[in-house]
Amino acid sequence: MDRLHKTLQELGTPYEIKSIDLEEVIYRKLETGFEFEVSGIYGNSRTCTLYVWSVVPRKIISIYQNIPLANLKDVLGYYACVYQKLTDQFQVERQDIEV
């Protein structure tokens, strides 16, 4: 199994592999009008790049580079919370560290 498919297996649903601009990438469409495209997962690479697209208008709104593959699942989870505005759905009672 190649690195891309192994990474997809580790991420699980709702991620999938798509061919975008002649490269196979890991892809996720959020219900809030954003899409994630994770590029650069091949060969011996230990890092990747996350592109965040807005659906309408179709444009890249953020690029996060040099994400360690070992931390990709956590990074994607964090940005999924951000771009789905999940933190608006709960109240933080106490947080002693700055994030």
Name all domains of the chain by residue range, CATH numbers in brackets. 3-88 (3.10.450)
Q: Is the CB of residue 60 less than 8 Å from the CB of residue 74? A: no
pLDDT digits (tens, 9 = 90+) for 39-59: 999 888 899 999 999 999 999
Q: How far is CA 42 from CA 18, 45, 80, 85, in A?
A: 14, 6, 23, 31
Work out the percent of the chain whose per-residue pLDDT is above 90.
80
Compute the distance between CA of residue 70 and CA of residue 5 in angstroms, rounded to an integer. Answer: 15
pTM of the predicted model as reported, rounded to 2 decimal places: 0.90
On average, the pLDDT of the chain sits at 94
pLDDT digits (tens, 9 = 90+) for 78-93: 999 999 999 888 888 8
Long-range contact set of residues 13-20: C-beta below 8 Å, sequence gap at least 24: 15/76
Higher pLDDT, 43 or 3: 3
Report pLDDT for 39.
Answer: 97
Compute the distance between CA of residue 37 and CA of residue 62 in angstroms, rounded to an integer. Answer: 11
